[in-house]
Amino acid sequence: LNDLDDLELMGRLDPAGMLQRIAELPLQCQEAQGSLEGIEIPAHYAQARNVVIAGMGGSAIGGELVQGLIEGECRVPVMVRRDYGLPAFVGEDSLVIASSYSGNTEETLSAARCALHRGTKLLAISTGGRIMELARKHAIPWVTLSYDSVPRAAVGHSFTILLSILQSLGFISQRPQELAEAIEEMHSLQDEIRPEVPGKDNPAKALAEKLYGRMAIVYGAQHLAAVARRWKGQFNENAKAWSFFEEFPELNHNALEGYQFPVPFAKETLVAMLSSSLYHPRIGERLRVTGEVLDQHRVEHLKLEAWGASPLAQVLTAVHFGDYVSAYLAMLYGVNPSPNPAIDHLKQRLGRK
């Protein structure tokens, strides 16, 4: 087991600077607020009757975090699409936002082409790539994502850009104050969990150590359900570890029954439940009783209370915490958190066909 207080070793295991990118999450959110400057989004886009955010992996999660946050306010349905093409309901009165860090992800390109074909209102977000070319060719508004990292590490940019688009079209209210507070909250959380804080006082290092050698199951609800998915993705891609996520209250109608078999799984699993005082009160109860059932099956579990007063602050700080845990877990396993050789291999293999 590597020593997470050995900063020199951490530096060697993280040559591409994942920990630095993670530390920049508040800065990313700050900077990305200006991303729409100079971009003309046609006024009639505000008339869209539904919004579909098309993306995969690290370029979809920002949309999902936004969707979970605004659900109670947004006057049109917002859907995150992770697949080829588009559902049949998407047409001229839809707004499709194609989000791909590289701009070359085939599923996202397929959705964008489908949107063009159907004459939907279309917007693109990428660092460049074929999505940018498509946008230029068809005079579609293209928002530049200018942050040098692996796609998932640019989540502050994609999240803030998507939030800004929905705000600027009037689908949701502006929330500069809330975002400023969320940024502050992330900074103070960082003071407790950054690599320089020794393991004995650092809850993110402590959680990574608990997760070491175990399968991480992440439970979340409402605005934190997408955060549970983010944690799962980060444990997979950064730590190269098995991980899954589930959502309350749905998990109480199936997963709860499945803690018995295969028997060895119980001791090889850790369930992390993301908790919030902002949840529906019945969800709080559900977390408590679910904990009791897990105890009966001797499955270790813990509850993490979200930081911050607003749902926005809770989402961003919970993402921040999970990102650090995933990088520390990578270090414990002795792997570089940045490259994704298996994903690259698959993309390359599919590309050759």
Among 28, 108, 164, 190, indicate the residue that binds ligand PA5 (CB under 6 A). 108
Say if residues 323 and 234 touch (Cβ distance below 8 Å): yes
Enter the DSSP assignment of 307: P
Query: Distance from CA of residue 238 to its chain's centroid?
Result: 13
Strand, coil or helix: 90? coil
Please say which residue, 59 or 252, places its beta carbon nearer to ligand PA5: 59
- Give the pair of three-digit tokens for residue 310: 């607003």
Q: Is 347 a catalytic residue?
A: yes
308 makes contact with ligand PA5 (CB under 6 A): no
Q: How many residues bind ligand PA5 (CB under 6 A)?
A: 15
Residue 237 is among the residues annotated as catalytic for this protein: yes
Subset of residues 21 to 60 that bind ligand PA5, contact rule: CB under 6 A: 56-59
Distance CA 229, CA 224 (A): 9
Site for ligand PA5 in 58-87 (CB under 6 A): 58-59
Say if CB 91 and CB 121 are below 8 A apart.
no
Q: Provide the residue type at 155 as one letter.
A: V
Q: Which is nearer to ligand PA5, 326 or 340 (CB)?
A: 340
Dist CA 275 CA 305 (whole Å): 5
Any contact of residue 101 with ligand PA5 (CB under 6 A)? yes
In 3-state terms, what secondary structure has residue 27?
A: helix
Q: Give the burial class of 76: count Cβ atoms within 10 A of its Cβ; 0-12 exposed, 13-18 middle, 19 or more buried.
A: middle
- Per-residue interface string for the shown chain with ligand PA5, residues 141-180, x marking contact by CB under 6 A: ---------xxx----------------------------
Q: Out of 28, 105, 202, 314, which residue is the one contacting ligand PA5 (CB under 6 A)?
A: 105
Contact pick of 46, 76, 206, 343 for ligand PA5 (by CB under 6 A): 343
- Distance from chain centroid for Cα 154: 10
Q: Which is nearer to ligand PA5, 130 or 205 (CB)?
A: 130
- Find the shortest distance in angstroms from Cβ 233 to ligand PA5: 7
> Do residues 36 and 168 lie in contact, with contact meaning Cβ atoms separated by under 8 Å?
yes
In the complex, which residue's CB is closest to ligand PA5?
A: 57
The span from the CA of 192 to the CA of 144, in Å, is 33
Show the site string, 209-248: x = touches ligand PA5 by CB under 6 A, - = not: ----------------------------x-----------
Site residues, ligand PA5 (CB under 6 A): 56-59, 100-102, 105, 108, 150-152, 237, 340, 343
Enzyme catalytic residues: 237, 253, 347
